[in-house]
């Protein structure tokens, strides 16, 4: 029995390392959970979810990228809906009566070129 064991009453020299392993494992589990939540949120916002998942689960710099992600997310950058394409805008303008049928057909032909 070593001096360390007698002073602290540990049953063996592996005990302090098992506690460290436990904390490291808990840290990785928390990191993976946060990464999954960021992945899901980025997927809903169409912000390259795989990239953000990788950046968040890297343990040493993951928290920095998580904070960066939250700052970018809160900046109000919303993805452009697919409906707002040139053709979609033209359809909406025609439906509202802003352009005539002739103008609509002419512009539609221009967009096809």
Any domain includes 86: no
Any domain includes 36: yes
Domain span at residue 43 reads 1-60
The predicted model gives 54-62 an average pLDDT of 72
pLDDT at 62 over 90: no
- What's the chain's average pLDDT? 76
Q: Mutual orientation of helices 86-96 and 101-112 as an angle, nearest 10°?
A: 180
Query: What single string gives the DSSP state of each residue in 40-58?
Result: HHHHHTTS-HHHHHHHHHS
Any domain includes 106: no
The predicted model gives 95-99 an average pLDDT of 90
Count the neighbouring beta carbons within 10 Å of the beta carbon of residue 46: 11
**Ramachandran angles phi, psi of 13, nearest 5°:** -75, -10
Any domain includes 76: no
Tally of domains in the chain: 1
Any domain includes 82: no
Pick the range with the lowest mean pLDDT from 30-39, 62-71, 79-88, 104-113.
Answer: 79-88
pLDDT band at 4 (very low <50, low <70, confident <90, very high): low
pLDDT band at 81 (very low <50, low <70, confident <90, very high): low
In this prediction, residue 102 carries a pLDDT of: 93
Tokens linked to 97 = 């009566």
pLDDT at 17 over 90: no
31 contacts 56 by C-beta, under 8 angstroms: yes
User: Percentage of residues in the chain with pLDDT exceeding 90?
Assistant: 9
13 contacts 4 by C-beta, under 8 angstroms: yes
């Amino acid at each position: 029995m070593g001096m360390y064991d007698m002073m602290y009453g540990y049953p063996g020299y592996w005990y302090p390392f098992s506690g460290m392993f436990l904390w490291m494992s808990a840290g990785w589990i928390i990191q993976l959970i946060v990464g999954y939540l960021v992945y899901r949120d980025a997927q809903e916002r169409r912000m390259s979810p795989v990239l953000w998942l990788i950046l968040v689960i890297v343990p040493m710099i993951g928290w920095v990228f998580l904070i960066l992600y939250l700052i970018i997310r809160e900046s109000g950058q919303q993805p452009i809906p697919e409906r707002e394409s040139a053709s979609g805008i033209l359809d909406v303008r025609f439906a509202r009566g802003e352009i005539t049928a002739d103008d609509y057909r002419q512009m539609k032909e221009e967009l096809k070129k």
